[in-house]
């Protein structure tokens, strides 16, 4: 392969944020190369194939969905900045989603891409809270959530000024936390606003073929713009001189140089590449004394028919919880069965002649990296099958009774990922999905030509991830030389 040894910009990681940063920089003539250790793009939002069947990792739904003509939202910004025609993403809207709380989901709030649906659900089920809820929404709408230097506030504290029923507080937080929060128990208010808009005020959509449609578009744009990428070739060390990154050592043993380095691999993970920083990379050693990192386990069941055919026709996504207070935290056990997220990729409003050939039933729960890591390979396999069954059982409590007595008989195949799987394929410490709790919104590091994008910069959701790459490329590189 004919690759150079000096670039204007080197990007670490070919996930959503790295690819988006790469497109911007290549489009405006920078010589840029993305280095990715894995053999596939996508990072935390990728896909893999087993026996010819494709499975999505990460993405349940694209958040931030707005219909054509709605302006000034993140989705529109993304399309403009990456010169993407919205048709290319082929997004199809959700049917409906729910937040279901109580041992059998007795208290349930429906929401769709029409915000009025959630508002009327709250008015009906929490009549004494609706005025406070409306004040909260007004605050969310006017909050400047893209300011890079905002003072951090507790989302729960701000929420409680408007919503006094703890059940409603938890029910509002549950989807927002599951779809983006790296912080146990609470969220930073700015992050809350971003996620509230992304999920409730905007909405969910999905391309029929899932995340690979989006990745295909990004790769195409990047290639057209002249960007280079090297797969199965990570960066193993950053050599610094004074306050700059002077050189990058690749897994292949080659050394290259770059004027600027953008890292999407996480702050601790990036620091671990800096020689003399006293921490070793790749195996998670960095995290032992660090803050709690949240990771998840997910079960995927492939069914021989559509979920709608067995009575699961309405819900696209269900966020569930069975305890009196919702506890978004790293569980003591390997998996926390008390709460989670159900996703039916089949239940989006696809055009009439388009549908997914097989039924897909996904369940995601909080999980404990350490509890999985301690297991021997044999125990790990056994634990996986035990927790698989337990997660499915737990989730089904929140769905209508299926019309077939034994769903197991419809299952064509299954798969499951654990925090260990995530660590293996993304390199993120403890298999963390949303990065470290502390975000570096400016993307600045202690080195003047090294910037962060992606989860640890902190624009969340899949659209947020791409906007993170875009903003960091604009702010640190393009705007400075414009």
Partner 1 sequence: MTKDEVKQVVLGIIADIAPDEDLSTLKPDVRLRDQMQLDSMDFLDIVMELRKRHGIEVPEKDYPQLATLDSCGDYLTPKFNALASKS
Closest CB to partner 1 among residues 344, 459: 459
Instruction: Out of 71, 116, 142, 276, name the contact with partner 1 by CB under 8 A.
Output: 71
Closest CB to partner 1 among residues 25, 341: 25
Closest CB to partner 1 among residues 16, 342: 16
Q: How far is the CB of 22 from partner 1 (least distance, A)?
A: 16
d(CA 17, CA 50): 26
Piece of the chain touching partner 1 by CB under 8 A; list 7-15, 33-41, 71-79, 421-429: 71-79
Piece of the chain touching partner 1 by CB under 8 A; list 46-54, 73-81, 242-250, 451-459: 73-81
Residue among 121, 37, 113 at smallest CA distance from 75: 113
d(CA 181, CA 311): 32
Residue among 19, 14, 22, 1 at smallest CA distance from 258: 22
Piece of the chain touching partner 1 by CB under 8 A; list 66-74, 181-189, 277-285, 312-320: 66-74
**Residue 333: both structure tokens together:** 């056990």
**Residue 109: both structure tokens together:** 């709030």
Residues 138-167 that bind partner 1 (CB under 8 A): none
Instruction: Out of 1, 2, 52, 69, name the contact with partner 1 by CB under 8 A.
Output: 69
Closest CB to partner 1 among residues 48, 79: 79
d(CA 401, CA 313): 12
Closest CB to partner 1 among residues 226, 291: 226
d(CA 430, CA 295): 7
Q: How far is the CB of 188 from partner 1 (least distance, A)?
A: 23
**Residue 221: both structure tokens together:** 């744009």
How many residues bind partner 1, per CB under 8 A?
19
Q: How far is the CB of 294 from partner 1 (least distance, A)?
A: 31
Q: Describe the crossing of helices 211-224 and 16-27 by its angle, rounded to 10 degrees.
A: 20
Q: How far is the CB of 72 from partner 1 (least distance, A)?
A: 5
- Residue 135 zone, left/alpha/beta (φ > 0; ψ -120 to 50; rest): alpha
Residue 276 binds to partner 1 (criterion: CB under 8 A): no
Provide the mask over 76-115, with x wherever binding to partner 1 is found by CB under 8 A and - wherever it is not: xx-xxx-x-xx-----------------------------
Piece of the chain touching partner 1 by CB under 8 A; list 75-83, 183-191, 291-299, 384-392: 75-83
Residue 330 binds to partner 1 (criterion: CB under 8 A): no
Instruction: Out of 52, 68, 253, 276, name the contact with partner 1 by CB under 8 A.
Output: 68
**Residue 321: both structure tokens together:** 């919880």
Q: Which residues pair with 107 in a beta bridge?
A: 101
Q: Alpha-carbon dihedral of residues 11, 15, 19, 22, nearest 10 degrees?
A: -10
Question: Contact, 199 vs 98, CB < 8 A?
Answer: no
Residues 444-473 that bind partner 1 (CB under 8 A): 470
Q: Which residues pair with 11 in a beta bridge?
A: 34, 262
Residues 6+ apart with CB under 8 A from 18: 11, 12, 34, 36, 43, 262, 264, 453, 454, 469
Piece of the chain touching partner 1 by CB under 8 A; list 14-22, 70-78, 117-125, 330-338: 70-78
Q: Which residues bind partner 1 (CB under 8 A)?
A: 28-29, 68-69, 71-72, 76-77, 79-81, 83, 85-86, 470, 474, 478-479, 482
């Amino acid at each position: 392969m004919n690759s150079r040894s000096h670039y204007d910009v080197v990007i670490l990681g070919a996930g959503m944020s790295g690819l988006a940063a790469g497109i911007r920089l290549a489009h405006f003539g920078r010589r840029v190369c993305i280095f990715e250790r894995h053999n596939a793009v996508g990072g935390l939002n990728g896909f893999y194939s087993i026996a010819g069947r494709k499975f999505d990792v990460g993405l349940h739904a694209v958040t931030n969905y707005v219909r054509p003509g709605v302006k000034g939202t993140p989705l529109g910004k993304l399309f403009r900045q990456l010169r993407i025609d919205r048709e290319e993403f082929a997004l199809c809207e959700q049917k409906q989603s729910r937040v279901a709380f109580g041992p059998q989901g007795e208290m349930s709030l429906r929401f769709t891409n029409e915000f009025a649906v959630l508002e009327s659900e709250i008015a009906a089920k929490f009549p004494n809270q609706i005025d406070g809820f409306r004040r909260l929404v007004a605050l969310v709408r006017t909050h400047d959530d893209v300011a890079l230097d905002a003072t951090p506030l507790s989302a729960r504290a701000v929420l409680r000024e408007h919503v006094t029923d703890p059940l409603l507080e938890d029910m509002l937080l549950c989807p927002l936390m599951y779809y983006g929060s790296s912080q146990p128990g609470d969220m930073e208010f700015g992050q809350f606003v971003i996620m509230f808009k992304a999920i409730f005020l905007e909405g969910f959509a999905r391309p029929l073929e899932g995340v690979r449609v989006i990745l295909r578009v990004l790769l195409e744009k990047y290639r057209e713009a002249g960007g280079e990428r090297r797969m199965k070739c990570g960066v193993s060390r950053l050599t610094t001189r004074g306050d700059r990154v002077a050189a990058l050592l690749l897994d292949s043993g080659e050394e290259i140089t770059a004027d600027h380095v953008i890292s999407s691999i996480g702050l601790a993970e990036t620091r671990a590449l800096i020689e003399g920083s006293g921490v070793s990379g790749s195996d998670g050693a960095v995290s032992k004394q660090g803050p709690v990192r949240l990771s998840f386990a997910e079960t995927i069941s492939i069914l021989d028919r559509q979920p709608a055919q067995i009575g699961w026709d309405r819900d696209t996504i269900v966020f569930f919880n069975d305890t009196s207070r919702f506890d978004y935290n790293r569980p003591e056990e390997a998996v926390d069965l008390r709460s989670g997220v159900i996703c039916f990729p089949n239940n989006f409003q696809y055009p009439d002649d388009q549908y997914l050939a097989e039924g897909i039933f996904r369940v995601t729960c909080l999980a404990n990296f350490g509890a999985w890591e301690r297991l021997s390979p044999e125990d790990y396999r056994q634990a996986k099958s035990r927790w698989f069954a337990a997660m499915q059982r737990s989730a089904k409590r929140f769905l209508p009774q299926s019309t077939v007595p034994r769903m197991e008989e419809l299952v064509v195949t299954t798969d499951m990922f654990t925090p260990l799987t995530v660590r293996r394929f993304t390199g993120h410490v403890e298999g963390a999905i949303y990065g470290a709790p502390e975000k570096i919104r400016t993307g600045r590091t202690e080195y003047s030509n090294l910037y962060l994008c992606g989860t640890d910069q902190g624009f969340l959701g899949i659209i947020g991830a791409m906007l993170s790459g875009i903003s960091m490329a604009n702010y640190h590189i393009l705007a400075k030389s414009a």
